[in-house]
Structures are given as structure tokens and as C-alpha cells.
Amino acid sequence: MSFRRFPEGFLFGAATSSFQIEGATEADGRGASIWDTFCAEPGRIHDATDGRRACEHYVRMPEDVAMMADLGLRAYRFSVAWPRILPEGRGRVEPRGLAFYDRLVDRLLERKIEPWVTLYHWDLPEVLSQAGGWPARETGDAFVEYAAVVAARLGDRVKHWITHNEPWCISMLGYMTGEQAPGHKNWGEALRAAHHVMLSHGQAVPVIRAHSAGAKVGIVVNLCPAEPASPSAADADATRAFDGFFNRWFLDPVYGKGYPRDVIEDYARLGRIPAAELDFVRPGDLEAMAAPTDFLGINYYSRAVIRSDSVPESENAPRTVFATGERTDMDWEVAPQALTALLKRVQRDYAPAALYITENGCAYATAPDADGHVRDVERTRYFETHLAACLDATDAGVPLQGYFAWSLMDNFEWAWGYEKRFGLVWVDYETQVRIPKDSAHLYSRVIAAHGLES
């Protein structure tokens, strides 16, 4: 065992998102979001729950900020609920909605916790969805207007801005697999949605800067490193295709490379688009999407081991990559070493000015013992090994400048409802009592020591 120190200035925080924790979905003039609608549709949420109460953060915000300070967090990444600010999606601003985030920012600063604002973490105003949602270009225009309203109000104090959280999930889970709101299943819509999300990111960057002197602006992508299951050519090609679909489709345009040609050809061949061209890309879009940013946020949970389904498994041997066998409650493999490799690869291929892990964590249901203590051994280990993986990356020269644990507390895990618990802090949803888990105590020690025994 040796003590490994993080680079000077390395930032430690925790992340949440509005719909997952706030509750109070009808308070202070908030408009409906696509997640309210989605939750109300039978069969969409595994445990048939919704976000009406969640963690009651909207009313418990002061005690939650005090809890963050007690844990020693230096930064807090949260999202602003668009339907609280613009209940009709565009136009009329709801001052009570803005006032909530204003108070939150002030409280955080009072406790010396850096606010990191995500503008879009999936709660699109329902009216905009009715008008076409992300597959409609106008939704992107509305997003830029919304970004201006929030940046104008908070930009004097908030200096770290994230436009969108996870364009892959917004577009692919929302419009292709239908697992998330609004629950559509249409490739054409999904690719249009992705385009408008990334385009509105690029268009919002200068708008945010104009309202927030010295702001650092970036986007957050969820990346999934892919490894072929065998040395076969078929597995290599399936891995290329998966990486293109999941990672490059989003990183390439944001870093000025345009959409990856090989993936456009895959999509045309598979009939996902009518021809090997993207009819929704207008002149100037690719330049706008590639607006220079200050950092890239990466959400990392697991890797994928890819085997081609074009050849029978028996003919596709030997396997070279094996799962470690350890899986979280999401059934995601625990793979810290893939995080180091991913960070190095992103640095090599895209060279962002700075990198942050904007989410990393795991779901385990571990509940309080009879003595009220939450001994979440697996989660503690997960954070230790992934923080060590970050150190391996910084040792190798990757400009990784911070880490946000997902999540500050157990919350509404989208289509899974409250079944999956990702929190550093246990939430009793009946009483709303919060109990920091062992993993939270470990994280506090890491922050205080600015390093890790490993």
C-alpha cells in the first residue's frame, strides 16, 4: 500500500440532476416535463414510481448543501430544470424557478462549494416535445434561448457550465430504443435529435460566455470503451461499429471532425437512414457544433465487450477478453482499468483542453444495518479502484482535472425508478432521512487527504 496524491488543484465533487432529486413538480409555476408525462404512462417505469416527491430536494436544499459541506465536497454538479424557468418552453420566464437556483448557488458559495451547472439533464418541457421535441430543429433554438436566460441570472457567480448531459442517452434512449422519455423508437428521429442536441450545444457556448465573464464551458458525454471479444475480423469490425455508434458519433462533431464516415455508411447499409448522407445537416452546422470549449466531461460507468453476431460464437474463438465477473445492480461490469484506457484514448484522439469525470459510480442496494450504518463495501471499493484509475491517467499525462461521484444521494434512477441506488448518501424515501454511507466517508477522507491509499 502506498499513498498516491492527486495533482494540485484536482477538484472533487458529486453530481445530481433536477428531475432525479427535486420533487415538487408542481411548485412555483413549474411546467410539465417529458419525464412527468413518461412516468404517467403505464409500464414505462419499472417500479411504477415518478418524480413528484423524489428526494424533496426542492424544499430540503439548505440541509442538502449543509450535508455536502460536512462531506467536504469542493464542487457540486446539478442541473437546472428547464420547465421551472420557462414553463412554456420559450418566452415567459418564471421568476420563482430562477430564484430557487439563485438561492442554491448562493448557499453553495457560502460553503465554498463550486457550483457546476448542467443546463439540460433530460427534463425537456412537455410543450416542446409536443411541438416535435429534439428531432425538431426549433427545440435547439429554444435551448439556446433558455441557456441565455439562466446564464444571465447565474453567470456572475457560476463559472462552470455544461450545456448537455449525455447526447447519446437523449437521442438513442429517448428516440431509438424508447427506454427513456419521450419513448419513441425511430432511428431517423434519434439521429436528428442527436444533431440538434449537439448543434444547440455549440450555439449555446458563445451565448453562455457572453453572460458569464471568465466562464468555462463544456459538454458531458457518456462514453463506453469497447473491446473485441476475440481477435477475429468480425469482432474487430463489430467493435469499430459500436465505438462509432456510441462514442465517435458524438465526439467527432464536437471536436471538428464531422460525423464519422464509416458510421454513416453502416447506418445507410442497415437502412437506418435512406442514403449515405445526413439530410438534416445544414451549411454551417458542423462549424457551429465544433465551437471551442474549455473542457470535456466524461460520464463513465462500464465498458462493453463486443462479439459480432454475424458469425456463430463457436466460429468466433478464442475469446481474448473476459468479463471480470463483478457486476453492479445495473448489471454493468466493474471495469476500472478501462477508464484509464478511455481517458488516454480521448486525450490522444481529441486533445480536449481539460477533462473531468463528471459522473462515475455504481448501483448497489446496500441498506442500513440494524445500527443505522450503511456498510456499502462494493461501492467503497468501486470508488477506490476508479479513483486509482484516474490517478493512473494523470500519471500518464492526461489533463484530468476533477472527478464527480454519481451520485450525491440515492435518487430517481429514470426508467428504473427508485430501485437502483447510486448514492454516497442513503435516502429513506418515506421519512426523507439521509445517511452518509461508508463510501461517503471514504470519499471525504480522499478529499481531505487529496489522495488515496492504493
Span of 88-96, 163-171, 308-316, 386-394 interacting with ligand FCB by CB under 6 A: 163-171
Q: Does 376 bind ligand FCB (CB under 6 A)?
A: no
Q: Residue 264: CA atoms inside 13 Å, Cβ hemisphere, count? A: 13
Pairwise CA distance, residues 57 & 252, whole Å: 36
Concatenate the DSSP letters of all residues of 262-297 into one string: HHHHHHHHTTSSSSSS-TTPPTTHHHHHT---SEEE
Closest approach of ligand FCB to the CB of residue 19, in Å = 9
Closest approach of ligand FCB to the CB of residue 310, in Å = 29
Q: Which is nearer to ligand FCB, 155 or 225 (CB)?
A: 225
Span of 161-169, 175-183, 232-240, 242-250 interacting with ligand FCB by CB under 6 A: 161-169
Pairwise CA distance, residues 189 & 110, whole Å: 44
Q: Which is nearer to ligand FCB, 64 or 413 (CB)?
A: 413
Nearest 5°: the CA angle 57, 63, 66 is: 125
Closest approach of ligand FCB to the CB of residue 406, in Å = 5
Q: Which is nearer to ligand FCB, 6 or 422 (CB)?
A: 422
Considering only residues 164-183, where is the footprint of ligand FCB by CB under 6 A? 165-166, 169
Indicate if the alpha-carbon torsion angle 381, 75, 170, 424 is positive or negative: positive
Pairwise CA distance, residues 149 & 143, whole Å: 10
Compute CA distances 147 → 42, 89, 151, 383, whole Å. Answer: 33, 12, 6, 33
In whole angstroms, what separates CA 261 from the centre of its chain? Answer: 26
Q: Does 422 bind ligand FCB (CB under 6 A)?
A: yes
Paired residues of 33 in beta bridges: 125
Q: What would the x/- binding string for ligand FCB be over residues 377 to 406, using CB under 6 A?
A: -----------------------------x
How many residues sit close enough to ligand FCB to count as binding (CB under 6 A)? Answer: 12
**233-243 helix and 261-269 helix, angle to the nearest 10 degrees:** 100
Q: What would the x/- binding string for ligand FCB be over residues 18 to 37, using CB under 6 A?
A: --x-----------------
Tell me which of 18, 33, 212, 222 binds ligand FCB, using CB under 6 A.
222
Q: Does 413 bind ligand FCB (CB under 6 A)?
A: yes
Q: What would the x/- binding string for ligand FCB be over residues 256 to 295, using CB under 6 A?
A: ----------------------------------------
DSSP at 327: B
Active site residues: 166, 359
Number of Cβ within 10 Å of residue 361's Cβ equals 25
Closest approach of ligand FCB to the CB of residue 222, in Å = 5
* Interacting residues with ligand FCB (CB under 6 A): 17, 20, 165-166, 169, 222, 299, 359, 406, 413-414, 422
